[in-house]
Amino acid sequence: MNGKNRKDIKPGLRVHITQKHDQRTGKHTGGIVQDILTTSAFHSRGIKVRLTTGEVGRVQEIVEAGHRAAGEGPG
């Protein structure tokens, strides 16, 4: 599922984001949503969120429950 609709994003959700400095390379960072920063209902490049690690970026993909996001260790 893509991350362009605010209604699909909730705190605690596991997602892949692209941070501003990674936009050219398209590198994704995995993590768990702490805050939703975009106030509009839709954003064409993805809803901006803050992860529990403090990283900020636009949601590129919502990771299905039970799957580990890229960049997260075992556990």
Q: What is the DSSP string of 21-51?
A: GGTTTT--EEEEEEEE---SSB-TT--EEEE
Q: Is 37 part of any domain?
A: yes
Q: Is 58 part of any domain?
A: yes
Domain harbouring 30, CATH code: 2.30.30
State both tokens at 28.
Answer: 């994704």
Q: Which domain holds residue 39?
A: 6-62
Q: Is 48 part of any domain?
A: yes
Q: Is 36 part of any domain?
A: yes
What pLDDT is stored for residue 75 in this prediction?
Answer: 42
Q: What is the pLDDT of residues 21-73, one digit of tens each?
A: 999 999 999 999 999 999 999 999 999 999 999 999 999 999 965 445 455 55
Binned at pLDDT 50, 70 and 90, residue 13 comes out as very high
Q: Is 71 part of any domain?
A: no
Q: Is 73 part of any domain?
A: no
